Amino acid sequence: MTAGVQENKPSRVQEKTMTTQDPDLLTPGEVAVMFRVDPKTVTRWANAGKLTCIRTPGGVRRYHGAEVRALLAGVSPRQPDRRTVEPLKGGDGG
């Protein structure tokens, strides 16, 4: 029996490194550079629901790169493209 030994629990430094290894997760600063805004603006967008984020175990925000790139391109990643969903109006259907 080993008293006082912790069970394979990662340290805070390891935890942070492990959660930020995904190359498609971006920091608020990285997103801000892409949009040419202040990082605080990126945080406000997340609070307003315009951009989704995940939180690391330390509470730090990370943003999905695919969603950020789609937003930069002017495509909403959460809603389907209306042109492919709605039928044409006023025509003979063809």
In CATH, the number for domain 21-75 is 1.10.1660.10
Per-residue model confidence as pLDDT tens digits over 42-84: 999 999 999 999 999 999 999 999 999 999 998 765 544 444 4
Pairwise pLDDT comparison (50 vs 9), residue with the higher score:
50
Given pLDDT bands bounded at 50, 70 and 90, which one contains residue 91? Answer: low
Q: Tell me how far apart the alpha carbons of residues 46 and 49 are, in angstroms, rounded to a whole number.
A: 5
| Burial class for 15, CB neighbours closer than 10 Å (0-12, 13-18, 19+) | middle
Q: What is the pTM of this model?
A: 0.58
Query: What pLDDT shows up at residue 17?
Result: 40
Residue 53's closest CA among 80, 32, 79, 81?
32
Given pLDDT bands bounded at 50, 70 and 90, which one contains residue 4? Answer: low
Alpha helices in 36-93 (DSSP H): 39-48, 65-72, 82-85
